Structure 1
């Protein structure tokens, strides 16, 4: 069975009929509710907060964010803002009169909010759509880079985010988590019910704050079941002597960085980084 993101772009896939079917399905409502509560538990919110819902759809997660603590929303009720690429999904949210503010926007083009606006962010079943590019002018790496850089900027220092997504394979897991780490996040991957059809993957992200003494992974480190990733570990292990500026290793690393940002670079060859003979 093909995955939805492999068939059509999200704004086309979630048309009026598909959006209504998604929103009214009791099975999907239960799954969405469980994943939203799981994301909230990983955020560890202890007071009402300003939360961004990325890929908010028809507001299924937003309704939980607006609920009181007595209804199972930790620290709630919360104030939330949501954005989604599907106008049909947002139309249903407006019909339901959800309490959050709604915006039509593409996460692959960034997060259109002022720096430091949000205390936290959640994203349920949306990030995997960024792993596809619909034109030759874009790339999954570029879309992920714009999203995570924008998300990082929109969160206050010490803020957290939890992105639940459905990776196609381990390579896609690495692509998503690496894009988050390059944006500056402390990152951890958590998988519920691994190796089953009901497996759920959560990317737990933190923005460094003063209480972390410069270690942006301090919050997620120590959480049960979460593997911490930090790009600085690799940087410490890298032999800088082999990457002096202008060397082949340095050039290859820079080209790899540009490719991850979605830029077009020349192919590598045996001449890459080779010094040219002086011509008199």
Structure 2
């Protein structure tokens, strides 16, 4: 199934029809709400203290609705005017601005926001729809201007769908290059449907620690940092024998519900050369 960002620029993909679908499709609304609630939870804002949150790629305001329900104020940015028009029709309480995240969020004053969230928007910055669009540069501009408009020690939580480990690594490196601490956290890494990737960042807090991912009871929480890829609860492949590595891989596939051949004394042995 093709990814939406491979179909062209977001301002063209999210046209009037697509914008209306976002507010009429119950499945889309449910998924967006769940991810927005999880992003808000990871912000870990102080209780009983209304905050000003920046919603990046706010769309029709589904994420903003979650922020409102939790008693906070928000400002949203999105490149699609059709999506913003739907947000205005829904009479959302937040203020919305049409802007390209690849051009940065430099329109806001320094230290303005107590936190920032985003749902399903960040991966669009990694696509080039013209020779003038450089993903490396767009990501760096985005993160540097975002860092500037955040209060010190505030958090940023960005949910997105990376199309490869290399893309995920690029995003984390550009974020940390801009000054953020943190990395990627993966909820339910062994589930094809429930798996969700969140970029959890802290602005200026050197003691920041990554939050606990959901579904890590199976020992397979995935955490990506700027300079390394760490799989907590697993042993590096280089420290395992061939048979141990094969057995561990087969066990992981079983937990994913895949059919795997039974273990035997021949598991992990090299095949003899054919005559």
Q: Normalised by the shorter chain, which TM-score bucket? A: 0.7 to 0.9
| Superposed displacement of residue 194, structure 1 | 1.4
Structure 2 CA distance for aligned equivalents of residues 22 and 189 of structure 1? 26
For 1:258, the equivalent position in structure 2 comes to none
For 1:64, the equivalent position in structure 2 comes to 66
Structure 2 CA distance for aligned equivalents of residues 133 and 21 of structure 1? 26
Q: Say yes or no: does 1:220 pair with 2:222.
A: no
For 1:117, the equivalent position in structure 2 comes to 112
Q: Say yes or no: does 1:49 pair with 2:51.
A: yes
For 2:137, the equivalent position in structure 1 comes to 142
For 2:13, the equivalent position in structure 1 comes to 13
- 49-58 vs 107-116, which moves further: 107-116
For 2:79, the equivalent position in structure 1 comes to 85
Structure 2 CA distance for aligned equivalents of residues 227 and 9 of structure 1? 30
TM-score (normalised: structure 1): 0.74
Q: Say yes or no: does 1:166 pair with 2:168.
A: no
Once superposed, which parts of structure 1, at least 4 consecutive aligned residues long, lie more than 6 Å away? none
Distance 1:222 1:197, change over 3 A: closer
CA RMSD, aligned part only?
A: 1.7
1:126 to 121, 125, 133: 121
For 2:101, the equivalent position in structure 1 comes to 107
Distance 1:230 1:12, change over 3 A: closer
Deviations 1:184-216 (A, max 9, x none): 0001211112143322100000011xxx4xx2x
Aligned length: 217
Structure 2: gaps of 5 or more residues: 214-220, 228-275
Structure 1: gaps of 5 or more residues: 68-75, 232-280
For 1:183, the equivalent position in structure 2 comes to 178
